Amino acid sequence: MDRPDKICDVIKLVGIVRDHSTEQLLKDAKLRPLDQLLDEADLIYRYHWATTSARLKGEEAPAQLEGGVVMERHYALNWLIGYMDQEWDDVSTDT
């Protein structure tokens, strides 16, 4: 995955969702191997800790990371890896 330093191309993603049925999107989706997901979850945890720490200190996020993107990715990755067996609406992003 790209570094979480900018918001995704929303127009492009809306087009993908708009132009494909739910069935087609599910058919084309491929979950990455667990070891890759765990590595990415570990990295995003560290990014989230760094951006949260900077925010609390009134500093700029390090390495031009986008704090909101980091948090959303942390949320999604925690759900994908089954962090603490939490349901989607209850996923925590502890830092």
Per-position pLDDT tens, the chain of length 95: 899 999 999 999 999 999 999 999 999 999 999 999 999 999 999 999 999 999 999 999 999 999 999 999 999 999 999 999 999 999 999 88
Render 16-78 in DSSP notation, one character per residue: HHHHS-HHHHHHH--PPPHHHHHHHHHHHHHHHHHHHHHHHTT-PPGGG--HHHHHHHHHHHH
Q: Is 1 part of a structural domain of the chain?
A: no
| Torsions phi, psi for 40 (to 5 deg) | -65, -40
pTM given for the model = 0.88
Q: Is 3 part of a structural domain of the chain?
A: no
Q: Is 19 part of a structural domain of the chain?
A: yes
Q: Is 15 part of a structural domain of the chain?
A: yes
Q: Is 5 part of a structural domain of the chain?
A: no
Number of domain units in the chain:
1
Q: Is 2 part of a structural domain of the chain?
A: no
Q: Is 29 part of a structural domain of the chain?
A: yes
What residues make up the domain containing 69? Answer: 10-90
CB atoms within 10 A of CB 69: 19
Q: Is 40 part of a structural domain of the chain?
A: yes
